[in-house]
Amino acid sequence: MPDTYRPEVIDHLVRPRNVGEISDASGIGESGDAACGDIARFSVRLEDNALTDVRYKVYGCAACIAAGSALSELVCGKSLLDAARVSKEDVRDALGGSLPVGKEHALTLVLDALHKAFEDHWNLVAGDMLVEGYGGSEKNDGKTVVAAMSGGVDSAVTALLLKERGYDVATVTFRLHDGEKGSRSCCSPDTVLFARDTAHRMGLPHFTLNLKDLFQKRVMRDFVGSYEKGRTPNPCVACNAHVKFHAAAFLADGLGFHHVATGHYARVADGPSLARPRDAAKDQTYVLWPIPRELLARTVFPLGDYEKPEVRRIAEDRGLAVAYTPESQDICFIPDGNYRKFVRKKVAAEPGEVVDTAGKVLGGHAGVVDFTVGQRRGIGVSAPTPLYVTEVRPKSNQVVVGKKQDLAVREVLVRDLNHFLAPDEACSVQVRYNGSPVPCEVEETADGAWIAHLSEPVMGVAPGQSAVFYSADGERVAAGGVVARNGA
């Protein structure tokens, strides 16, 4: 790397292009690095998904000024898709090659500001659309797809496979929550940058969507509220039900694209219906059941036909830097995994009684939010045989405990169903993330709920968890819903 600036940098410094701000911009983005004090701001005007005007401002070193100028020149007049494809390397090339040591961050900074302007544009277009539940617009045709990109190996290979199959691919990363700094949670700002780099290395356009409000309303609030109500939530299910697929479809519609894709391990069968993937160990149908049918109809899961080791091998073969990233966590917004602490911070918990199934008081507890059905640890009551939480009663602030056999359930009431097949095609049901399907008979109630009569008792069925019904061959999801109540 050179110690001094190249003539191209000095030229952009002295004669910067596209300086200024657009008063009625389609989107404005600002990125700043607190550590060095540099700030870049981009404003863009978009007409029919083309950048008809780009303006930028920079406070910072010569590298930032020149990088902003060069980037504005690279994207102005381009289609939004081509603009979102412009990479750090492209800007570096426009500046005549590598920047002096310690100045390369300028490329990241200006690119991030431009992408935040795009993000701002999409959020302005979206308004409350996503919060209200986005069903998608009229289908477009064509081999076009928006692929969700978390920065991990699965989503990167997803985008790559689609590209290799001849799709026009646009990638998108969602900002879901303010992840803690330095966390390995998949949604921290670092992972946004990493996902963008990964997409750009594949020559793909990348977008970000800010879904923090939506995620807060539809996932995190529900997560905390469930514990208050004595229910066991599944935030991944809530995210798939209300956030991810809707947002991807929204972007696809905005770009005039047809399909949406994620790196989930599942398949879309005729109907459309949800079907199990080739890699049974990675099967994610249990958390994907709430995808609305009209969105599933346009969804592609390329990894459904691959085993995980193959996916890693593809990433290695194609030289993707993501090949060795660790598996993402269970709950992305709780990076340390301590969800009790997380819930405790959000809700006030009152002490109450621990009672047995007959109602006899055995001891006290510090709050019902600390308990879920099936739990054995932390009950705080000594007994000759191990005690399990069999019920949580938030109204009376009681935690009911019993023996292991008290957890056994033969009947499960399931509401909020998302149907893919007729009720009589549902032959088994899975009621826990790490459980396996149990044969059952389905009885439909007058109000549309399903009662699953289980062929054998199942332990620890917790209200709030998902119940997913499978077809006779066990390969297709017949329907999914939420456990409302369980009975002996």
Partner 1 sequence: MAVWVKLAKMMDHRVYLDHAATTPLDERVLEAMLPHLKERGGNPSSLHASGAAAREAIEAAREAVAAFLGASPGEIFFTSGGTEADNLALFGMARAAETSGKRHVVVSAVEHAAVRESARRLEESGWEVSWIGVDEHGLVDPAELSAALRPDTALAAVMWANNEIGTVQPVEELADICAEREILFHADAVQSAGRVPIDVARTPVSTLAISGHKLYGPQGIGALYVRDGVALDPTLLGGGQERGLRSGTENVAGIVGLGMACQLASESLEGRVRHESRLRDRIISGVTELPGVSLNGHPEMRLSNSVHLSVDGVEAEGLVLFLDALGFEVGSGSACASASAGHKASPVLLAMGQDEREAFSAVRITVGKDNTEQEIEAFLEAFSTAVNQLRELSPLTTT
Q: Which active-site residues does the annotation give?
A: 239, 332
Per CB under 8 A, the segment of 53-61, 86-94, 279-287, 333-341 that binds partner 1 is: 53-61
**Residue 23 in contact with partner 1, rule: CB under 8 A:** no
Per CB under 8 A, the segment of 11-19, 88-96, 161-169, 228-236 that binds partner 1 is: 11-19
Buried b (16+ CB within 10 A) or exposed e, 185-214: bbbbeebbbbbbbbbbbbebbbbbbbbeeb
Cα–Cα distances in Å, from 304 out to 42, 161, 265, 297, 298?
A: 39, 12, 5, 15, 15
**Residue 100 in contact with partner 1, rule: CB under 8 A:** yes
**Residue 102 in contact with partner 1, rule: CB under 8 A:** yes
User: Whole-angstrom distance between the N-terminal and C-terminal Cα of the chain?
Assistant: 71
Beta strand 361-365 with 409-419: parallel, antiparallel or unpaired? unpaired
Instruction: State phi, psi for 128 to the nearest 5 degrees.
Output: -95, 5
Structure tokens, 468: 């997913």
**Residue 65 in contact with partner 1, rule: CB under 8 A:** yes
**Residue 387 in contact with partner 1, rule: CB under 8 A:** no
Give the H or E element holding residue 473. none
Question: 23 or 434: whose CB is closer to partner 1?
Answer: 23
* Residue in 45, 57, 218, 258 binding partner 1, rule: CB under 8 A: 57
* Residues paired with 428 in a beta bridge: 439, 470
Cα 476–Cα 482–Cα 484 angle in degrees, nearest 5 = 140
Nearest to 200 by CA among 286, 138, 112, 136: 112
| Least separation in angstroms between CB 53 and partner 1 | 17
Question: 12 or 218: whose CB is closer to partner 1?
Answer: 12
**Residue 4 in contact with partner 1, rule: CB under 8 A:** yes
Q: Of residues 406-445, which lie at the interface with partner 1 (CB under 8 A)?
A: none
| Least separation in angstroms between CB 125 and partner 1 | 24
Buried b (16+ CB within 10 A) or exposed e, 38-57: bbbbbbbbbeeeebebbbbb
Question: 62 or 440: whose CB is closer to partner 1?
Answer: 62
Give the H or E element holding residue 196. helix 189-201
Question: 65 or 195: whose CB is closer to partner 1?
Answer: 65
**Residue 37 in contact with partner 1, rule: CB under 8 A:** yes
Per CB under 8 A, the segment of 1-9, 75-83, 136-144, 198-206 that binds partner 1 is: 1-9
Instruction: Please tell me whether residue 432 adopts helix, strand or coil conformation.
Output: coil
**Residue 107 in contact with partner 1, rule: CB under 8 A:** no
**Residue 116 in contact with partner 1, rule: CB under 8 A:** no
| Least separation in angstroms between CB 182 and partner 1 | 21
**Residue 91 in contact with partner 1, rule: CB under 8 A:** no
136 φψ region: left (φ > 0), alpha (ψ -120 to 50), beta (else): left
Yes or no: say if 100 and 1 are a contact pair by the CB < 8 Å rule: yes
**Residue 3 in contact with partner 1, rule: CB under 8 A:** yes
Query: Following CA atoms 224, 377, 436, 305 in sequence, which dihedral angle do they give, to the nearest 10 degrees?
Result: 60
In this structure, the chain runs to a length of 488
Nearest to 330 by CA among 437, 223, 478, 464: 223
Cα–Cα distance, 430 to 417 (Å, whole number): 14
**Residue 103 in contact with partner 1, rule: CB under 8 A:** yes
* Residue in 22, 61, 91, 429 binding partner 1, rule: CB under 8 A: 61
Per CB under 8 A, the segment of 44-52, 100-108, 199-207, 255-263 that binds partner 1 is: 100-108
Question: 34 or 281: whose CB is closer to partner 1?
Answer: 34
Per CB under 8 A, the segment of 51-59, 240-248, 269-277, 434-442 that binds partner 1 is: 51-59
**Residue 11 in contact with partner 1, rule: CB under 8 A:** yes
Give the count of residues interacting with partner 1 (CB under 8 A).
29
Cα–Cα distance, 277 to 475 (Å, whole number): 8
Cα–Cα distances in Å, from 272 out to 253, 293, 299?
A: 20, 7, 10
Question: 8 or 411: whose CB is closer to partner 1?
Answer: 8
**Residue 115 in contact with partner 1, rule: CB under 8 A:** no
Question: 61 or 149: whose CB is closer to partner 1?
Answer: 61
Give the chain's largest Cα–Cα span.
Answer: 84
**Residue 16 in contact with partner 1, rule: CB under 8 A:** yes
| Least separation in angstroms between CB 257 and partner 1 | 33
Instruction: Please tell me whether residue 186 adopts helix, strand or coil conformation.
Output: coil
**Residue 280 in contact with partner 1, rule: CB under 8 A:** no
**Residue 446 in contact with partner 1, rule: CB under 8 A:** no
**Residue 36 in contact with partner 1, rule: CB under 8 A:** yes
Question: 60 or 367: whose CB is closer to partner 1?
Answer: 60
Beta strand 361-365 with 206-210: parallel, antiparallel or unpaired? unpaired
**Residue 13 in contact with partner 1, rule: CB under 8 A:** yes
Nearest to 203 by CA among 249, 171, 250, 251: 171
Q: Of residues 138-197, which lie at the interface with partner 1 (CB under 8 A)?
A: none
Contacts with partner 1, residue ranges (CB under 8 A): 3-5, 10-11, 13-16, 19-20, 30, 36-41, 57-62, 65, 100-103
